[in-house]
Amino acid sequence: MDDMIRRLACIALLSVSGVAFAESRSPVDPGLRLITSAGSMRFLVYSICSPEHCWSEPYLEWFDLSGDDWRLMERRQLEELRYGTVVEAATWIWDEGHPYLSVHISPSHGGFEPHVVRIYPAEPGKYRLEPSALGPDG
């Protein structure tokens, strides 16, 4: 009987700790399609859909990493890539100590050929967007 009580107590303890762990996780937005980071910057892409088609809403975020926790300094939506564009993939590339994003985009409903753009982040809230000189594959 003592053994059975110990087993039941152990099962109850594991059940409670599992619930506590599940409740401590942060929920993730189901529309978040892509997230990638480099240094103190992060690139996020959300997928937005209408009954006809889907498109991307990309954001750049800059963080202050000086403390124990990351503190969001600035969040900027990339309006140039928002309407009628689907972000397929994004890769951070380090060029002479400075990262930039190589972003593969395609149209959400025609209008242009899939291609690559580069995003050059600067100080918080600032960036430059250019078509890739390397052509459609990067």
Each residue's pLDDT tens digit, 15-73? 444 444 445 566 778 889 999 999 899 999 999 888 888 899 999 999 998 888 889 99
pLDDT at 134 over 70: no
The pLDDT of residue 109 is: 78
The Cα–Cα gap between 11 and 104 comes to 49
Q: What is the pLDDT of residue 83?
A: 78
Task: Please state, as a whole number, how many other Cβ atoms lie within 10 Å of the Cβ of residue 11.
Answer: 10
For 87-106, letters b (16+ CB in 10 Å) and e give beebebeeeeeebbbbbbbb
* Domain assignments of the chain as residue spans, ordered by start: 31-131
User: What pLDDT score was predicted for residue 98?
Assistant: 86
Work out the burial of residue 128: count CB atoms within 10 Å of its CB; fewer than 13 is exposed, 13-18 middle, 19 or more buried. Answer: exposed
What pLDDT shows up at residue 20? 45
Residue 29 has what pLDDT? 83
Q: What is the pLDDT of residue 6?
A: 58
Instruction: Provide the 3-class DSSP secondary structure of residue 26.
Output: coil
Higher-confidence residue of 90 and 96: namely 90
Residue 13: pLDDT over 50: no
pLDDT higher for 2 or 127?
Answer: 127
Q: What is the pTM of this model?
A: 0.73
Q: What is the pLDDT of residues 91-127, one digit of tens each?
A: 999 988 889 999 999 888 777 788 899 999 999 999 9
